[in-house]
Amino acid sequence: MTLPASPIGVFDSGIGGLSVLQALRHELPHERFVYLADSGNAPYGDARGDAFVQQRARAIARHLREQYQIKVLVIACNTATAAAVDMLRAEMPDLPLIGVEPAIKPASLSSQTGHVGVIGTRGTVSSARFARLVAEHGERVHFHAQACDGLAKAIEESTERPVPEDPMATEVAELCARYVAALGDFGQKTGEMDTLVLGCTHYLFAREQLRTLLGPDIQFIDTGAPVARQTRRVLGRLGALADESETPPTPDSQMQLMTTGSLQALQAAAWRWLELPARCCSAIQVGEASTTAA
């Protein structure tokens, strides 16, 4: 049964989905959220493969459902959406699901030069779903896609270190520079890419480095806000929105964050990106722990 007072479940391979949680909290301040970072098994998108990601998505969806009676599940991960959303829909038809996909359509509508760069994980940009999306919206626009091996992992690891004095002297910046260069020329002239789609939820946390590399005129498009609005629509349709006439909950009762990896890393990320206190975070195990390195 879907109850307005039940929490919204959100998961990602790690801390990347916190960028979606930020947008959800902004759009739905009266809701409560249960967030699961599968950091013990991250990254999903470099070399894990669909079968592994599907197995993790299934275990996490079951866990959030059974332990927290979530009323909707937001898959805040492009890679997991590409690999597992159809499977989850088939296996759990009564659990409302919202996936995250690279913002190909909005980019196709807003690019002036008709050339758009897309960065994502290897799992996302080589998926059949991504190919379909590009085929649907690629008539007027040329999409240049780049798989960014190692970038989500570097972002994940960077959260455990102190905030760098120079964000450009980091592995995250180095990888961003490499992949942006591989995409080709950005700018406003004919044939140049004027738009960059952030096709992985982790990459929003490399925005500063990407902005420094590309300058102020390139448009970045991510999916946090549209996904949050879609979540509102789905809950509205189900009559499952929390009571918005009440005072919004405090962070402590609104947010429960869990990780299958390092608790310190989640606490640092939760504070840095959402200003949430460490006590909102805990470490858990869901399903089998990972034994192979990605």
Question: Whole-angstrom Cα distance, residue 219 to residue 136?
Answer: 21
Q: Which two tokens stand for residue 50?
A: 């669909």
Q: Is 280 a catalytic residue?
A: no
Q: Which of residues 242-261 bind ligand DGL (CB under 6 A)?
A: none
Is residue 224 within the footprint of ligand DGL (CB under 6 A)? no
CB-based closest residue to ligand DGL: 45
Is residue 45 within the footprint of ligand DGL (CB under 6 A)? yes
User: Residue 26: helix, strand or coil by DSSP?
Assistant: helix
Residue 97 Cα to chain centre, angstroms:
14
Of the candidates 99, 203, 222, the residue with the CA atom closest to the CA atom of residue 150: 203
Among 43, 99, 106, 224, binds ligand DGL (CB under 6 A): 43
Nearer to ligand DGL, 115 or 202 (CB): 202
Residue 286 Cα to chain centre, angstroms:
19
Name the minimum Å distance from CB 2 to ligand DGL: 26
Q: Which of 77, 148, 176, 280 is catalytic?
A: 77
Q: Which of residues 149-168 bind ligand DGL (CB under 6 A)?
A: 152
Q: Count CA atoms closer than 13 A to 181's CA, side-chain side.
A: 6
Name the minimum Å distance from CB 198 to ligand DGL: 9
Range in contact with ligand DGL (rule: CB under 6 A) among 22-30, 85-93, 110-118, 194-202: 194-202
- Containing H/E element for 142? strand 142-147
Nearer to ligand DGL, 43 or 96 (CB): 43
Of the candidates 253, 259, 273, 238, the residue with the CA atom closest to the CA atom of residue 32: 253
Q: Is 176 a catalytic residue?
A: no
Among 33, 35, 44, 130, binds ligand DGL (CB under 6 A): 44
Go through 109-137 and write b for each residue having 16 or more CB atoms within 10 A of its CB, e for each that does not.
eebebebbbbbbbbbbbebebbeebbeeb
Range in contact with ligand DGL (rule: CB under 6 A) among 73-81, 159-167, 175-183, 239-247: 73-81
Among 111, 158, 159, 201, binds ligand DGL (CB under 6 A): 201
Strands 8-12 and 33-37, how do they pair? parallel
Among 54, 111, 124, 260, binds ligand DGL (CB under 6 A): 124
Contacts of 64 (CB under 8 A, 6+ apart): 9, 11, 34, 36, 70, 73
Q: Which of 148, 200, 280, 281 is catalytic?
A: 200
Q: Answer yes or no: are the C-beta atoms of 10 and 254 closer than 8 Å.
A: no
Q: For residue 170, count CB atoms less than 10 angstroms from its CB and return exposed for 0-12, middle for 13-18, buried for 19 or more.
A: middle
Name the minimum Å distance from CB 107 to ligand DGL: 16
Is residue 78 within the footprint of ligand DGL (CB under 6 A)? yes
Nearer to ligand DGL, 6 or 39 (CB): 39
Range in contact with ligand DGL (rule: CB under 6 A) among 170-178, 195-203, 214-222, 244-252: 195-203
Catalytic residue list: 77, 200
Q: Which residues would be at the binding site for ligand DGL (CB under 6 A)?
A: 12-14, 16, 42-46, 77-79, 121, 124, 152, 200-202
